[in-house]
Structure 1
C-alpha cells in the first residue's frame, strides 16, 4: 500500500493506492458481489467500527494536545500548592500572588511568569453611531510581560511572534493601563476593524465603566486546547495596583498562577522542589511555612491531572478516562474484526471447491492468500472511505452538542494517516487467518468436499470470538447501567436545601444603598416569595471563599480549612435550612464586621465538639475572631463527587455579596413575566451594568457535566457495539442455517417440530452468549467499582444490574437470530432435499 496526492488537488484528500493486480481486484469485486449478504454485513460492521474509532481518535488527539502548542512547552512547569491541614492535605492549582515576584528575584536562572484570573468584567466601547455598548467578558486574564514569551503558541501558528496581528511583545505590556485583544473581541468592539486592516493601537475601552484601557495589541484567536483560556489580556501591574491586599498577601490563595521555565528540559525537578521548600521560609509566616509546600507540575500534565481540580476558566479530563475511551475505540474495531473472521471461517468449507480448482490450475498458496487478502483490502477500503465521510459529519455535530466544554474537534493529516493505518491493520488482522487457512487446503481434499474436517479449528475460533464479542457487550451494558444509576442518584439525592424555583442574579456592585433599593422594589412583585443576598448558593459553584478555622485556645498549627459563605438574615429561610443547635444570624450580627458564626455539623465535628457544646465557643479564622452562635444541619456545600466539608456562614456587610437569590412562585405570575420584571427593576438600579441570571437547578446540573459526557460516551459505544455484534450474529446464523438446510429437512421429515428445530439451531449460540455473560460479569464489577470509588457518595452495585444486562444481551441476540432461525425451521423439507 502507498499514498499519492492528487496533482493540483486538495492536500486533505490523499489517494490510497493498493498494489494489487487488476485481475485480482476484478476477481475480488466479483466475489464480494456474489456474496451480497456477507459483503453488506461486513461493510456495515467495519464502517460502524471504524467511524466510532475515528471519532474517538480525534477526541483523544484533542484532549492530549492541551498546552503543547508552545516552542518549549516541555520546559515549563506550573507551581502548585499542597496545604497540610488537620488530618488531610489540600491540593491547589493556584498560589499566592507575591510568589512570582519573589521567585523572579531570588532565582535568576529561571524564567517566571504569573497570571491572575480569568475574571469576569464589564467592557464598554462606542459603536459607529457614538452609542455606548457594553459586554460581559468572562475570560479576562491579567498577565505580566513574560507570559506570551513562555506561552508563545508557536507550534500552532508557525513561529514565535506569529500570534500577533497588531503590536508586539516588547511594547504591549509596558503600560499598566494597556489591553491586548484577541481578533474576535477586536472585531466585536471596533466593528470588524481588524478584518478591514485598520490599526487599533491607541483605541480606548472602558473596564467596569470607570477604568480606561488603551489597546496595545491584537492577537490571533488562541486555540481552545489551552488550560488558561483568555479573550483579553491586561497587564498584571493593573491588577496589582487595584488589588493591593490580594497582590501582597502570602497567606491567601486568590486565583493566581505562577509558571516557571527552566533552561534545560533535563532539569532535576525534585531537587528544585527541595530548594524551594528551604527558600519559602524567607517569605511565609512560620505557621504557613509548616502547612504549605510548593510543587512543580509539568504544563502538559495540567489538563489530564485531576488532583488539582479544574484550572481557572478551563476543565480537566482524567487521564484514566481518556485511556478508557481509547480502549472503547479499540473494542469497536475488535468487534467488527471478530464479525469478519467469524463469517470468513464459516465460509471455509463453501469456498474449498474454489481453492481446489485454483490449485489444480496452478495457483500457489501465496497467490491464493493474496487473492483472499485483496477481497479484505477492497472491503476495508470502501468501509474506510465511508467512515471518513461519517466522521466529518459527526465531528461537526459534536462541536455543536458539547456545549459544556470548548471543543475544536477537527480533521487533519493525522486523521488520514490514522485511517490508512487502521485500514491496513484491519485488513491484515481480519484477512490473514482466513486466507492462510483456506490456502492450505490440498486440491484433492478440497474437491472431495472433505474440507469440513479441517473446520474444527475454525469452529473453535468462532466460539472464542463470539464469547469475547458478547463479553465486551456485557461489560459495556453494565458500565452504562451503573453510570446511569449513579447519575440518577446524584440528580435525586437530597442536598439538604431547597433547589427548585430559585433564580440567582449577579450583583455587579456591592453598594449597600443600591442593594437596599433593589430589595425594596423587588418586594413589590407578587411572584417573588423570598429574597436573599449572599456570596453564593449552598452548593459552591464558580468561586468559593476559603479560610482556616480553629478554637481560640488551639495552637495555630491546628487550623483546619473551611468554606466561608457570606449571607444575609434571609438565607436560612429561603433555602429551608435546619438549625440543630443555637440560633441563626439575627439583627445583632448586622455589622460591617462579623460578630458571630454559624457553622455546619462537619465543622463542629472537626473541632471535636457536638453541636450543643460548639455554641458559645470562640473560633479564629484568617479574617478575625467571633463566637459560634449556632450549628446548622449539614447540607452538600460541594458537588456530590466530593464529601461535605466544614462550612462557616456569617454576615459581613455587603462587600462579599455577589448574588441575589430569589424564590419565585409560578402562581403569582407567569414565569416569563416574572423574569422580565426582575430584569427591568435590576436595569433601573444598575443601568450601566450587564444583567445575568440563572436557575439554580441548571447551575447545579453543570457540576455533573463530565459525568453526563461519560454516560453519553458509554451509551453510544455500547449501542454501537451491540449493533455491530448483532449484525455479525445475524450474518453468521444466516450462513450456518443455509449449510444445515439438508439436516433441517431430514429432521422435519422424521417428525421434528418447528420448536424443536428452532431450539436445536439456537442452543449453541445462546449457550455461548450466556458463557460470555458469566465471564464478563466479574470484570465489569471490578472495573465499575473502581470508577465508583472516585465519588464521595457512590451507589451500591446491585445484583440486578448484571441480571438486567445479561437478559438484555440474551434478548437482543434472540431477537436478532430468532426470525432467521424460525424461518429456517418452517422451511418446506422438499425445498431443502430436492437439490441433493
Structure 2
C-alpha cells in the first residue's frame, strides 16, 4: 500500500507539472531570451521541486506526530522505534528518490522548450506523457480499491460468521482455584441479578483445548482431537446447539461436534458410541454443531466436550440485557466480593476482535491508503482536465459555433478520458483480484470471490472519473464561444 501511494503521488506531481507546460512555456522563453541555459531552467525546476518536497515533508511530520496513536495501533510498534539512527536512512532515501523522480522528468521537458515560444503560443500538449501518467494513476487507484473491497468483505465475513456459539452477552474470565472453590464461584455467579447463567471449564471457548489423537475403528490416527473438560450446563450457557442426542448429565458424558462424526464416518449416528483409546471419556450422549474455537483463521478441528467435576480454570457467564451495564455491574461485584480471585470478565466479542486484529489493521491501512490515493488521483485528473480545456478552448469554441451542444463537448472530453480510464481500471481490478486471492490463502474460511463485485467496483471508479471530468469541464462547455475566440 505504501508503495502504491508513493508511486501514484510521484506520477500525479509529474502529471500536474506537465499539464502546466502550455501556460508556462512563454515564461521559459523569456528566461532563455535573458540568457538562461537549459541547465539553468533544469536547476530552476529542481529547486522548485525541492521546495515542494520540503513543505510536504514538514506537513507529513506534522500529521505523523498528531496521529501517533493511530499509527502505533496500525503498525503495532512505537513511533520512536521507526525513526532511529539505524532506520532513518529509509525515509531519507524515499524523500531523495521522490525529489529526483519528481524533479528530473518535468525539469528536462521544460528545459527543452525552444526560445521561440516567447513569440507564439506553445501548443505541444505532451498528450502521450499525460495519458501515460493518468493510466498509471487510474490503475493504481483501481488496484487499491479492489484490495479494499476484498479486505472489507473478508473482515465482515470473519466477524459475522457463525462461530457455533451465541456470542452476544457472553463473557469470560480465567484464573486458577480448586474444584470446590470453582463450584462455589459458579453457584454465586448464578445468584447475581445481572446473570442469566454461568458455567466453568478447563479452557476458554476461543483457542486450543487439550489434544489427543482421534483414532478410527482400525486403530489409525486420523486427526488431532481437541477436548475440553467442562460443567454439564456448558453447552446451554454457551449457546451451543445440540443437533443429535441430549446434553451431558453424568460424569464422563461426552458431546462431540459434527466434524468428529464426519471423520469417524458414523453414518448411523454417534450417540451411544465411545471415542477409541480415550479412557477418561465415557459414552457419547450428543452431537453439537461445529464450534470454531480456533476461529476462522484455521481449519475446523474435531472437538469433544467432556463433563467433569474438576474443572476450575475458565468461567463463562451469560449476561442479561443490557449487556454493557450488566458486565460493568458484574465486574464491580467481583472486585468488591472476590477481589482475591483476580477475575475480570471480558466479552467474547471483544476477544474475537482481538483474534482478528491483524485483519482489522490491514483493513484500516487499506482504507487510509485508498482515501489518499483517491484524493491524489482526483487532483491529478482535475489538473489534466483544466489543462485540456484551456489548450483546446479554441477547438471547443469553433465546435459550438458550428452547432455543437454543451452535452456534445462534455461527451468529447469524457470519451478522451475513457480511452485511458477503461483499460487502466480493468487492468488494476484484475491485478487486485489475483492479489486478493493470494491474501485470502492465509484464512481457512474465505469469502466468495465473485467477479461481479470487482466489475461493480470498476464501474464505480469509471463513473467517478467521468463525474470529475464533467464537473470541471462544465464551465468551458457552457461558455460563450465568442469569448474563447476573442482570447485566442
| Fold match by TM threshold 0.5 | yes
1:703 to 336, 352, 355: 355
CA 677–416 in structure 1, closer or farther in 2 if over 3 Å, else same: closer
Runs (4+) of structure 1 exceeding 6 A deviation are: none
More helix by share: 2
> How far off its partner does 1:716 sit?
0.6
- Provide the rounded CA distance (Å) in 1 between the counterparts of 2:148 and 2:330: 44
1:720-731 equivalence runs, <5 A:
720-731=372-383
> How far off its partner does 1:553 sit?
6.0
Secondary structure of 1:612's counterpart equals: coil
Secondary structure of 1:617's counterpart equals: coil
Q: Which residue of 1 aligns with 2:144?
A: 476
CA 671–782 in structure 1, closer or farther in 2 if over 3 Å, else same: closer
Secondary structure of 1:619's counterpart equals: coil
Moved more, 328-337 or 602-611: 602-611
Q: Which residue of 2 aligns with 1:434?
A: 106
Q: Which residue of 2 aligns with 1:338?
A: 11
Conserved? CA contact 2:213–2:222, under 8 Å: yes
Q: Which residue of 1 aligns with 2:123?
A: 452
- Provide the rounded CA distance (Å) in 2 between the counterparts of 1:498 and 1:340: 52
Give the RMSD, CA atoms, in angstroms: 2.8
Structure 1 residue 809 corresponds to structure 2 residue 476: no
> How far off its partner does 1:774 sit?
1.9
- TM-score, with length taken from structure 2: 0.90
Q: Which residue of 2 aligns with 1:524?
A: 191
Structure 1 residue 499 corresponds to structure 2 residue 170: no
- Provide the rounded CA distance (Å) in 2 between the counterparts of 1:772 and 1:349: 26
User: Which structure carries more relative contact order (alpha carbon 8 Å, separation 6+)?
Assistant: 2
> How far off its partner does 1:604 sit?
3.4
- Provide the rounded CA distance (Å) in 1 between the counterparts of 2:487 and 2:335: 87
1:309-388 equivalence runs, <5 A:
328-388=1-61
Q: Which residue of 1 aligns with 2:213?
A: 548
CA 611–664 in structure 1, closer or farther in 2 if over 3 Å, else same: farther
2:260 to 603, 606, 609: 603
CA 605–615 in structure 1, closer or farther in 2 if over 3 Å, else same: farther
Q: Which residue of 2 aligns with 1:423?
A: 95
> Which 5+ residue runs of structure 2 have no aligned equivalent?
none
Aligned length in residues: 486
Q: C-alpha deviations, 1:635-666, integer Å up to 9, x for none? A: 22220111210112112332x43222222222
1:199-598 equivalence runs, <5 A:
328-399=1-72, 401=73, 407-410=77-80, 411-413=83-85, 417-444=89-116, 446-447=117-118, 449=120, 451-453=122-124, 455=125, 458-512=126-180, 514-538=181-205, 540-541=206-207, 544-550=209-215, 554=219, 558=221, 560-587=223-250, 589=251, 595-598=252-255
- Provide the rounded CA distance (Å) in 2 between the counterparts of 1:677 and 1:434: 66
- Provide the rounded CA distance (Å) in 2 between the counterparts of 1:343 and 1:351: 12
- Provide the rounded CA distance (Å) in 2 between the counterparts of 1:329 and 1:385: 18
Q: Which residue of 1 aligns with 2:329?
A: 676
1:590-739 equivalence runs, <5 A:
595-610=252-267, 612=269, 615-621=272-278, 624=280, 626-654=282-310, 656-666=311-321, 672=325, 675-676=328-329, 679-680=332-333, 683-684=336-337, 686-739=338-391
CA 746–554 in structure 1, closer or farther in 2 if over 3 Å, else same: same
Conserved? CA contact 1:332–1:721, under 8 Å: yes
- Provide the rounded CA distance (Å) in 2 between the counterparts of 1:488 and 1:823: 43
- Provide the rounded CA distance (Å) in 2 between the counterparts of 1:337 and 1:507: 55
- Provide the rounded CA distance (Å) in 2 between the counterparts of 1:822 and 1:579: 65
Q: C-alpha deviations, 1:289-331, integer Å up to 9, x for none? A: xxxxxxxxxxxxxxxxxxxxxxxxxxxxxxxxxxxxxxx2121
- Provide the rounded CA distance (Å) in 2 between the counterparts of 1:620 and 1:767: 69
- Provide the rounded CA distance (Å) in 2 between the counterparts of 1:440 and 1:687: 79
CA 489–447 in structure 1, closer or farther in 2 if over 3 Å, else same: same
CA 611–462 in structure 1, closer or farther in 2 if over 3 Å, else same: farther
Structure 1 residue 791 corresponds to structure 2 residue 439: no
Q: C-alpha deviations, 1:196-248, integer Å up to 9, x for none? A: xxxxxxxxxxxxxxxxxxxxxxxxxxxxxxxxxxxxxxxxxxxxxxxxxxxxx
Conserved? CA contact 1:762–1:821, under 8 Å: no
Q: Which residue of 2 aligns with 1:740?
A: 392
Secondary structure of 1:637's counterpart equals: coil
> How far off its partner does 1:817 sit?
3.3
Conserved? CA contact 2:255–2:286, under 8 Å: yes
- TM-score, with length taken from structure 1: 0.54
> Which 5+ residue runs of structure 1 have no aligned equivalent?
1-327, 590-594
CA 815–641 in structure 1, closer or farther in 2 if over 3 Å, else same: same
- Provide the rounded CA distance (Å) in 1 between the counterparts of 2:334 and 2:54: 64
> How far off its partner does 1:422 sit?
2.9
CA 671–832 in structure 1, closer or farther in 2 if over 3 Å, else same: closer
Q: C-alpha deviations, 1:85-117, integer Å up to 9, x for none? A: xxxxxxxxxxxxxxxxxxxxxxxxxxxxxxxxx
